[in-house]
Amino acid sequence: MSHIPFQLREVQRRISSAAEKAKRDPSTITLIAVSKTFSTEDVQRAIDAGQSCFGESRFQEAALKIADLRSSIDWHFIGRVQRNKVRKILPLFPTIHAIDSLKLSEYVNSIAKECGFAPKLFLQVDQANEETKGGFQPDELYRVFGDLAALSHISIAGLMTIPPAAEHSEDSRCWFADLRRLRDDLSQKFSIPLPHLSMGMSGDYEVAIEEGATHVRVGSSIFGKRAYHVEGELGSIA
Ligand SMILES: *Cc1c(COP(=O)(O)O)cnc(C)c1O
């Protein structure tokens, strides 16, 4: 018997209770099951248990699974986006979470235009100014947001963060609250809706929901401990 269906239900239950605690409607929160490093069979187990939204961070690995699965899955690309992979990522992933520069956004927009895609993008924010992590600096985001919003073949879903590694989930709360304030302020200053916040992982998704997360990216709490590191993605916490 696989532990995946049970753990998935447990995560769903905890999402609902965190939402209720924050007086939010649980159906407004999307659980992205992060399946990087896990097998196609494991993804299938989660699909059989009712999960339809998955996140992957390495294109090659993801493409193999996507080809194997053939189900109608809502795939989210959550890893760092290399420019030379954009053409391949767009047909497979309707949503991309770690857009970290205006240049990359413009490039994604040009490929989307050329190939007829309309990707939803999350702008990753490097809140703690960490060298190992990609992302916009908050002040940079204010400078370029008008240009980002003017790109016509992408839609900006909202902001995304991977806060500094923390021992306790409460340590992440300030970063999550900070991202929400940044979102509210940008949205107001530029009069552009920014409905989504992609924040919270296995260690802290309940706190993220209390602070307004609409997309939580949860891997190990569903699939188990990862057997190997994913280099360079999460910096020091990978
Ligand atoms: C791996 C990964 C996650 C999931 O991490 P867990 O701690 O296993 O839940 C979330 N977000 C990103 C960007 C990741 O690379």
| Phi, psi dihedral angles at 149 (to 5 degrees) | -70, -20
Q: Is 76 close to ligand 1, i.e. is its CB under 6 Å away?
A: no
Region 33-55: what's the mean pLDDT?
97
Q: pTM for this structure? A: 0.95
- CA 200 to ligand 1 centroid distance, Å: 9
Question: Which positions ≥6 away from 136 have C-beta within 8 Å?
Answer: 100, 101, 123, 124, 125, 126, 144
Helix (H, G, I), strand (E, B) or coil at 234: coil
Q: Is 36 close to ligand 1, i.e. is its CB under 6 Å away?
A: yes
Kindly give the number of the ligand 1 atom that is closest to the alpha carbon of 34.
Answer: 4
Q: Which residues pair with 218 in a beta bridge?
A: 33
Q: Is the pLDDT of residue 1 over 90?
A: no
Q: How confident is the model over 204-238, as pLDDT tens digits? A: 999 999 999 999 999 999 999 998 655 555 543 43
Q: Is 35 close to ligand 1, i.e. is its CB under 6 Å away?
A: no
Q: Is 201 close to ligand 1, i.e. is its CB under 6 Å away?
A: yes
Measured CA to CA, the distance from residue 101 to residue 117 in angstroms comes to 20
Taking CA atoms only, the protein residue closest to ligand 1 atom 10 is: 217
Average pLDDT, the chain: 94
Q: Is the pLDDT of residue 141 over 60?
A: yes
Region 135-145: what's the mean pLDDT?
97
Q: For position 122, what pLDDT does the model report?
A: 98
Q: For position 2, what pLDDT does the model report?
A: 86
Q: For position 237, what pLDDT does the model report?
A: 41
Residue whose CB lies within 8 A of the most ligand 1 atoms, among 126, 201, 233, for a mutation test? 201
Region 128-148: what's the mean pLDDT?
94
| Vertex 97: Cα angle to 161 and 85 (nearest 5) | 130
Judge contact between 152 and 109, C-beta under 8 A: yes
Q: How confident is the model over 191-211, as pLDDT tens digits? A: 999 999 999 999 999 999 999
Say which residue the tokens 């569903």 belong to: 222
Q: For position 230, what pLDDT does the model report?
A: 55
DSSP string spanning 123-179?
Answer: EEB-TT--TTS--B-HHHHHHHHHHHHT-TT-EEEEEE--PPP-SSGGGGHHHHHHH
Residue 71: pLDDT band with limits 50, 70, 90: confident
Q: For position 226, what pLDDT does the model report?
A: 92
DSSP designation for 236:
G
Q: How confident is the model over 49-63, as pLDDT tens digits? A: 999 999 999 999 999
Say which residue the tokens 């099951």 belong to: 33
